Chains A and B, each alone.
Chain A
Amino acid sequence: LAKTTQPISMDSYEGQEVNITCSHNNIATNDYITWYQQFPSQGPRFIIQGYKTKVTNEVASLFIPADRKSSTLSLPRVSLSDTAVYYCLVGDYNTDKLIFGTGTRLQVFP
Chain B
Amino acid sequence: DVKVTQSSRYLVKRTGEKVFLECVQDMDHENMFWYRQDPGLGLRLIYFSYDVKMKEKGDIPEGYSVSREKKERFSLILESASTNQTSMYLCATGDERGPSYEQYFGPGTRLTVT
B99 interface neighbour in A90, A102, A103, Cβ under 8 Å: A90
B32 at the interface (CB under 8 A from A): no
Report B-chain residues with C-beta under 8 Å of the C-beta of A101.
Answer: 42
A43 proximal to B (CB < 8 A): yes
Contact B98 A100, beta carbon cutoff 8 Å: no
User: Which of B62-70, B71-79, B102-110 lies on the face that meets chain A?
Assistant: B102-110
B98 and A43 contact, CB distance less than 8 A: no
Query: Which residues from A are CB-within-8-Å of B44?
Result: 100
List of B residues within 8 angstroms of A100 by Cβ: 35, 42-45
Query: Is the Cβ of B99 less than 8 Å from the Cβ of A31?
Result: yes
A89 interface residue, CB < 8 Å from B? yes
Q: What is the CB-to-nearest-CB distance from B86 to chain A, in angstroms, rounded to a whole number?
A: 17
CB–CB A43/B59 < 8 A: no
Residues of B within 8 A of A49 (CB): 100-102
Q: Give every chain B residue within 8 A of A13 (Cβ-Cβ).
A: none
Output the least CB separation between B81 and chain A (Å).
Answer: 22
Residues from chain A with a CB closer than 8 A to the CB of B107 are 41-43
Considering only CB atoms, which chain B residue lies closest to A46 in the complex?
B102
Contact B58 A98 (CB under 8 A): yes
A69 within 8 A of partner (CB): no
* Complex contacts, A41 vs chain B, CB 8 Å: 107-108
Q: Contact at B99–A1, with CB atoms within 8 Å?
A: no
Across the interface, do B100 and A31 meet the contact criterion of CB distance under 8 Å? yes
Q: Chain A: which residue is nearest B58 at the CB level? A: A97
Per-residue CB contact flags for chain A residues 1-39 toward chain B (1 = under 8 Å, else 0) read 100000000000000000000000000101110101000
* CB interface residues, B 47-93, toward A, < 8 Å: 48, 58-59, 90, 92
* A42 vs B59: C-alpha distance when bound (angstroms): 22
Query: Complex formed: what's the CA distance from A1 to B43 in Å?
Result: 15
Interface centre among B41, B59, B99, B105, by most chain A C-beta atoms within 10 angstroms, is B99
Q: Which B residues are CB-close (under 8 A) to A44? A: 43, 90, 103, 105
Closest to A90 in B: B99
Closest 6 CB pairs of A and B: A43-B105, A32-B100, A102-B42, A100-B43, A46-B102, A103-B42
